[in-house]
Amino acid sequence: MSADNRYFYEPSKGHGLPHNPLNAIIGPRPIGWIASRNAQGQRNLAPYSFFNCFNYDPPIIGFASTGWKDSVANIVETGEFVWNLTTRSLAAQMNQTSAALPHGTDEFEFAGLTPIAGNIVKADRIAQSPVSFECKLSQCIQLTAANGDKIDTWLVLGEVVAVHIEKYLLSAEGIYQTALAEPVLRAGGPSAYYGISDEQRFDLHRPTL
């Protein structure tokens, strides 16, 4: 404990806590539920908790994978993927798709999910998910440490080329209703997730100078 009563640690020397607090502090985080196909057409579906949106125009989203996993290999091979929104009603099935299944297993079938072909990309959407983004690969970047050492983590960025939204999530004015979708957000530790609600909403407007 430091003099100002704050817990202090240097990550390279370990955090000294029961669980690494990093992903609990940077959270809750949206889930990247990523669907892809390899060149032979084999489907893959996996959730990534290091996920977010990085640009408006063109819209670019991305996720980070620790290790060169099937999702990364498929996306680099085909240049395509689909992001699907994880909702509260789909949380258990999302969690099932995180299982370390034998190579070649179809996670859609394993989790009881229905694939729908994309309009533009060949990767499948999840029929049960109310929002999906069809994406084209823009960059796949191997991360490096501050000293330049390469890390076995890959940042996959994709341009959103098609958007699917269930109409019930749009108000009469055409505004997307974030809380109504009941998105699931990942937190820290081995099992923590969160939801959001309109009761927790507050509004701030940018100051004008």
pLDDT 10s digit of each residue in the chain, 209 long?
A: 455 899 999 999 999 998 888 888 898 999 999 999 999 999 999 999 999 999 999 999 999 999 999 999 999 999 999 999 999 999 999 999 999 999 889 999 999 999 999 999 999 999 999 999 999 999 999 999 999 999 999 999 999 999 999 999 999 999 999 999 999 999 988 899 999 999 999 999 999 98
| DSSP-H helix ranges across the chain | 22-25, 70-78, 91-96, 107-110
Asked whether the beta carbons of 64 and 161 are under 8 A apart, the reply is: no
What pTM does this model have?
Answer: 0.93
What does DSSP say about strands 32-37 and 43-48: parallel, antiparallel, or unpaired?
antiparallel
pLDDT at 188: 87
Say which amino acid occupies 95.
N
Asked whether the beta carbons of 164 and 126 are under 8 A apart, the reply is: no
Supply φ then ψ for residue 88, to 5 degrees. Answer: -60, -40
Measure the CA–CA gap between 97 and 93, rounded to whole angstroms. 6
H/E stretch holding 176: none
CA-wise closest residue to 181 among 139, 118, 107, 130: 130
Measure the CA–CA gap between 169 and 27, rounded to whole angstroms. 24
Which tokens is 60 given? Answer: 């670019």
91-126 residues labelled b (16+ CB within 10 A) or e (exposed): bebbebbbeeeeeeeebbeebebebeebeebbbbbb
CA angle 150–156–159, rounded 5-degree value:
145
CA-wise closest residue to 158 among 74, 94, 86, 44: 74
Number of C-beta neighbours around residue 204 at 10 A: 5
